[in-house]
Copies of this chain bind each other. A is one copy, B any other.
Amino acid sequence: MEIYEELKPLFNPKSVVVIGASREKGTVGWSIFNDFVSSKKFKGKVYPVNPNAKEILQRKAFPSIKDVKGDVDLAVIAVPAKIVPHVMHDCVDKGVKTAVIVSSGFSEIGHKALEAEIEHIARESHMRVVGPNCLGVFDGHSGVDTLFLPEEKLQRPRPGNIALITQSGAVGSVILDWISSEGYGISKFISYGNGADLTETDFIEYLMEDDQTDVICMYLEGSKNGRRMYHMLKDAVKEKPVLIIKAGSSKEGTHAVSSHTGSLAGSDEIYQAAFKQAGVLRTHDMETMFDYAQALSHQPLSKGDNILVITNGGGFGVLATDEIISRGMHMAQLSEGTKKTIKRYLPTYAGIHNPLDLIGDADSRRYEKVFRAISSDKNVDAVMAITLFQTVSLDPKIVPILRDFNRYCKKPKVVCAAGGKYSQHMMEQIEDTGIPVYNTPAKAADGLYALTNYSKVKRGIF
């Protein structure tokens, strides 16, 4: 597709120019240039443009982009709003393929004519533009990073297979910072600000094709072209799951969006209906979004929604049951053969029900035997394994056992565990097996819900 080729230079530029690069540490122009220079991942060339400097961070500075030799894939523009059009013309003359305009001072403060000029230049020239009034892009794999906040204030995540598109730079930066500290991996982060040229729909289209992205997450306040977005979403979910936080679910919130963005936000009911129709999974906060994304980015889809809960704590089994049912999923009925097998592994007084209580004295061996017994039971579509480490018996061998389970059992699975230092240490190890770990039955049920929901979308039965 055309957009995929057009945006390649944005995410994988061979050469980058930072216009408005600065010698003054801590400024926007310094931070962006420094991100490229100090990146261990970014392999392309990077040049600073600043008419008042000879050198920036030991690199020769150029008075204008026109003075830079060779092709330029990406120009990052961080100059005062009123000279942005002039700088853009220089970029067009130079044949720059993509630009990120970080500068603010456009439609968001009422300067609509200036923004229209930017849009016009982009449209006429076919130079594709991100922004203005945005953070731009961060690529977890190529190392492109136009975010103007230093790592001390805004951590960068590890590379991964989840993409995040955000209309709001503030919301986006909070999410990015938070997921970094949570250890989630990111393929691409895109903050498109006022969206004078490229908008959410273009990025969805790009990410549909992007091999490094398995799940598309988005924070949206309102779309300029809802119909186009809807059709794109409908296509995108055929390829990969799309999760959206849409601000303004209440009337008061919709009104607040209008005040905030200066645009007509449109009725939330229409968005809600469009998301449902398109097969998009809507969430209301970043935690739930990434609970969904973790499951979708690591586990296979589910054939149905009959869930088996395995636990070493009866109470957690009950809580998990409540959460599964409240999300519209069902509790699996183990087949008679499986029940018979499992009965041999459990204390005589234990009942063989779902939730399957392995009893508080369960060790990892008991889990292993039960995992093997249920892995081919056709009545079970997905598994939630609750492993509470505040017990005397549960030992660290549960980690390799879960790793094996994840290999030989093709059903989707999640783990639920919670607690302090010791449990958190074990949870991190379990996460390395490829099974997502959640610290409440509610979140674990969210993970399974995302998998069963998207598998219905893929099968066209949502």
Residues of A within 8 A of B (CB): 28, 109-110, 148-149, 152-155, 167-171, 173-174, 177-178, 180-181, 219, 221, 245, 247-253, 256-257, 259-261, 284-287, 312-319, 321-326, 331, 347, 349, 351, 353, 355, 357, 360, 388-392, 418-424, 439-442
Given contacts A155-B421, A170-B390, A260-B355, 20 further A-B contacts (CB under 8 A): A153-B422, A170-B312, A170-B388, A170-B391, A171-B315, A171-B316, A174-B390, A177-B419, A178-B423, A181-B421, A247-B315, A247-B319, A247-B322, A249-B326, A250-B322, A252-B325, A285-B319, A285-B323, A285-B440, A285-B441
User: In the complex, which of the residues B149, B259, B286, B313 contacts A440, with contact meaning CB atoms closer than 8 Å?
Assistant: B286
The answer to whether A154 and B419 have CB atoms under 8 Å apart is yes
The answer to whether A170 and B313 have CB atoms under 8 Å apart is yes
User: In the complex, which of the residues B180, B245, B318, B355 contacts A420, with contact meaning CB atoms closer than 8 Å?
Assistant: B180
**In chain B, what residue has the closest Cβ to A326?**
B250
List B contacts of A313 (CB < 8 A).
168, 170-171, 174
User: In the complex, which of the residues B177, B284, B325 contacts A390, with contact meaning CB atoms closer than 8 Å?
Assistant: B177
Least Cβ–Cβ distance between A115 and chain B, in angstroms:
14
6 contacts between A and B (CB under 8 A): A174-B418, A178-B418, A181-B419, A221-B318, A259-B357, A285-B323
Task: Tell me, in angstroms, the Cα distance from A439 to B351 when the chains sit together.
Answer: 41
List B contacts of A389 (CB < 8 A).
153
7 interchain residue pairs of minimum CB distance: A170-B313, A168-B315, A155-B420, A260-B314, A177-B419, A250-B325, A171-B315
Task: Tell me, in angstroms, the Cα distance from A337 to B248 when the chains sit together.
Answer: 28
**In chain B, what residue has the closest Cβ to A111?**
B349
Least Cβ–Cβ distance between A443 and chain B, in angstroms:
8
Task: Tell me, in angstroms, the Cα distance from A285 to B321 when the chains sit together.
Answer: 13
The answer to whether B173 and A248 have CB atoms under 8 Å apart is no
Task: Tell me, in angstroms, the Cα distance from A154 to B319 when the chains sit together.
Answer: 21
Least Cβ–Cβ distance between A192 and chain B, in angstroms:
13
Task: Tell me, in angstroms, the Cα distance from A349 to B104 when the chains sit together.
Answer: 13
List B contacts of A347 (CB < 8 A).
109
Task: Tell me, in angstroms, the Cα distance from A348 to B353 when the chains sit together.
Answer: 65
How many copies make up the complex?
2
List B contacts of A252 (CB < 8 A).
321-322, 324-325, 331
**In chain B, what residue has the closest Cβ to A171?**
B315
List B contacts of A423 (CB < 8 A).
174, 177-178
The answer to whether B171 and A323 have CB atoms under 8 Å apart is no
User: In the complex, which of the residues B181, B247, B355, B388 contacts A256, with contact meaning CB atoms closer than 8 Å?
Assistant: B355
**In chain B, what residue has the closest Cβ to A250?**
B325
User: In the complex, which of the residues B168, B390, B441 contacts A314, with contact meaning CB atoms closer than 8 Å?
Assistant: B168
With a 10 A CB-CB cut-off, give which of A153, A155, A317, A389 has the most chain B CB atoms.
Answer: A153
Least Cβ–Cβ distance between A380 and chain B, in angstroms:
15
The answer to whether A260 and B318 have CB atoms under 8 Å apart is yes
Least Cβ–Cβ distance between A27 and chain B, in angstroms:
9
Task: Tell me, in angstroms, the Cα distance from A306 to B249 when the chains sit together.
Answer: 19
The answer to whether A152 and B422 have CB atoms under 8 Å apart is yes
**In chain B, what residue has the closest Cβ to A182?**
B420
Given A178-B420, A285-B442, does the pair A318, B256 have CB atoms closer than 8 Å? Answer: yes
With a 10 A CB-CB cut-off, give which of A110, A177, A325, A331 has the most chain B CB atoms.
Answer: A177
With a 10 A CB-CB cut-off, give which of A155, A180, A256 has the most chain B CB atoms.
Answer: A256
With a 10 A CB-CB cut-off, give which of A155, A168, A174, A181 has the most chain B CB atoms.
Answer: A174
Least Cβ–Cβ distance between A129 and chain B, in angstroms:
21
Given A110-B349, A388-B170, A389-B153, does the pair A322, B441 have CB atoms closer than 8 Å? Answer: no
User: In the complex, which of the residues B167, B351, B420 contacts A181, with contact meaning CB atoms closer than 8 Å?
Assistant: B420
List B contacts of A110 (CB < 8 A).
349
Task: Tell me, in angstroms, the Cα distance from A24 to B419 when the chains sit together.
Answer: 26
Task: Tell me, in angstroms, the Cα distance from A377 to B260 when the chains sit together.
Answer: 23
**In chain B, what residue has the closest Cβ to A246?**
B322
Task: Tell me, in angstroms, the Cα distance from A442 to B28 when the chains sit together.
Answer: 31
The answer to whether B173 and A390 have CB atoms under 8 Å apart is yes
List B contacts of A171 (CB < 8 A).
313, 315-316, 319
